[in-house]
Amino acid sequence: MIQRKETHQVWVGSVPIGGDAPVSVQSMTSTPTHDVDTTVRQIRELAEAGCDIVRVAVPDRRDTQVLPAILDQSPVPIVADVHFHYERALEAVEAGVHKIRLNPGNIADRKRVDDVIAACRERGIPIRVGVNEGSVVERIDASVRTSQKEDLARGPAALVNLMLKTLEDYMRIFDESGFHDVVLSAKSIDATMAIDAYRAVSERFDLPLHLGVTHAGPPQTGRVRSIAALGSLLAMGIGDTIRISYASDPVDEVDDGKELLCSLGLRSRTEPELIACPTCGRIEIDLIKLVADVRRKLATIKTPVKVAVMGCVVNGPGEAEGADVAVFAGKGKGIIYVQGRQTRTVSEAEMLDALHEETVAFAARVERGESKLNATRVNIQPPDPLPRKDGTIPLPVSKEG
C-alpha cells in the first residue's frame, strides 16, 4: 500500500488536487485553441478516454477570445497554459477557466504576477507554477545567466538546486500575497533528474505536485522515460496529478497515465484489465495477434473484468490466477475458464469470439449484481489430461466447439 504525502488541496473546477483526493490524469490539446470545433472535439476524446483535466495553449488573444465557447462545451475542467504574455492569463481568468499555468522563467515581473494572483483569488482559481530545465536559466540578465551556466556545469545536482531556488523565489510572491491555491511542477527530460527535482520540491513545500517528464518523445521511448520517473515518485507517495506527455495523439498519454495509476493501486479501473503471458517456445498459436484482437474487442466493455490470455496450459493456469475470464491455448485449441470454472473448449478459430462472449456475459452478470469481480486470487486448476512427456497437451474439443 502506497502511503501518499498529504498536501494542501486545491480545486480545478469539480476536480480536487492534493489532500486525500485520488491522483488525477491530465493531458493537453494539440490543436490551435482558436479552432473551437477541433479543440472541443479533442477535449471530448480525451475525456472519453478517462482524462480528468485538459490544458489548452493560449499564446494569442484570439485563443482567449474563444475560451467561453470551449468551456461551454467541455465535459472536463480546462487549464489555460500561459507562457510569455500575462495578459493572456487575465483574459483566461475573465473567460472562466478553471486553472492557470504560469512559467517563472517567462513571467517574472512582480506587478504582473500580482495582477494574475489578484484575478485568480477573486474567481477562486488555482495557479500551477511550473519550472523545467529548458526555461529555468535566466534569459534577460546576461551576468546572471553566465553565473547560472557556470554552476550547471558542475553536475546534475546544480540544476535541481536552481529549479528549487527558482520556485522558492517565485513562491515568495504568492506567500506575501497570501495566495496558497498553487500547484507546483519541476519537469526535466531526464528521468533521474525529474525524480531528484520532485523529491526536493516535495520536501520543501506542502503544496500539491503536478508530475511530468518534459520532451519525453514518441510513445515508444517516452513511455519508458515517463513511467520510470512518475512510477518511482508515485511509489514514494509523491504526486497529486500527472501528465505523461508524448509527441503523438494525446489520448495515448491518458491511456498510459490511467494504466500507471491502476497498476500502482492509485486509481480504480473502470474498464477491463488484460493479462497476457510472455511469448516462449511453448506457444502453439498466434498469441500476439490474439492478444491484439482481444484488446480491441474488450474496448466496448465498461466493467473492470480481469481477462487473461495464456498461450499454453502448462504455466498459464497458475500465472492467470485472479482472472475473471481466461483462455488457455494449446495447439489449435483453447480452454476457457470463468472464475475458475471451465466453461468450454473451442478451436483456435473460435477462441476470440468465445472469449469475448464469455466476458460480455460475465460483465452483464456483474452489472446485474448476480456475480462479483474477483477481489482475491483464485485457484484455476490446469485441465486434464496432464502434459505428455514431450510437453504437448492433448486438448479435447467440446461438441459445441
Q: Note whether residue 105 is domain-resident.
A: yes
Give the residue from 215, 239, 263 where a domain finishes. Answer: 263
CATH number of the structural domain spanning residue 278: 3.30.413.10
Same domain, 83 and 161: yes
Least confident of 149-158, 173-182, 347-356, 373-382: 373-382
- Please tell me the predicted confidence (pLDDT) of residue 99: 97
Contacts of 23 (CB under 8 A, 6+ apart): 4, 234, 239, 240, 241, 242, 261, 266, 267
Kindly tell me the burial class for residue 22, based on how many C-beta atoms sit within 10 Å of its own C-beta (0-12, 13-18, 19 or more): middle
- Please tell me the predicted confidence (pLDDT) of residue 380: 47
Higher-confidence residue: 94 or 375?
A: 94
pLDDT exceeds cutoff 90 at 381: no
Q: Which amino acid is at 215?
A: H
Same domain, 146 and 235: yes
Same domain, 181 and 32: yes
Q: Which amino acid is at 250?
A: P
Same domain, 343 and 279: yes
Same domain, 200 and 319: no
Task: State the average pLDDT for the chain.
Answer: 87
Mean pLDDT of 94-122: 87
Say if pTM beats, i.e. exceeds, 0.75. Answer: yes
The secondary structure of residue 209, as a DSSP letter, is B
For residue range 54-72, list pLDDT tens digits in order.
999 999 999 999 999 999 9
Listed ranges 151-155, 166-170, 354-358; the one with the highest mean pLDDT: 354-358
Same domain, 259 and 278: no
Mean pLDDT of 2-28: 96
- Please tell me the predicted confidence (pLDDT) of residue 383: 47
Q: Note whether residue 175 is domain-resident.
A: yes
Same domain, 209 and 145: yes
Higher-confidence residue: 28 or 139?
A: 28
Mean pLDDT of 235-262: 95
Element (H, E) at 251: helix 250-263
Q: Tell me the three state secondary structure of residue 388.
A: coil
Element (H, E) at 368: helix 348-368
Same domain, 243 and 303: no
Dihedral angle computed from the Cα positions of residues 352, 355, 358 and 364, in that order, rounded to the nearest 10 degrees = -80
For residue range 295-353, list pLDDT tens digits in order.
999 988 999 999 999 887 666 666 667 889 999 887 888 889 898 888 999 998 999 99
Q: Note whether residue 4 is domain-resident.
A: no
Give the residue from 223, 243, 263 where a domain finishes. Answer: 263
**What range does the domain containing 309 cover?**
273-368
Same domain, 334 and 189: no
Same domain, 240 and 360: no
Give the residue from 220, 241, 263 where a domain finishes. Answer: 263
Q: Note whether residue 379 is domain-resident.
A: no
Q: Note whether residue 183 is domain-resident.
A: yes
Same domain, 80 and 225: yes
Q: Report yes or no: 135 and 187 within 8 Å, Cβ to Cβ.
A: no
- Please tell me the predicted confidence (pLDDT) of residue 146: 78
Higher-confidence residue: 368 or 106?
A: 368
Q: Note whether residue 328 is domain-resident.
A: yes
Q: Note whether residue 241 is domain-resident.
A: yes
Helix axes 250-263, 36-49, angle to 10 degrees: 20
Same domain, 314 and 183: no
CATH number of the structural domain spanning residue 175: 3.20.20.20
Of 102, 111, 153, the closest CA to residue 131 belongs to: 102
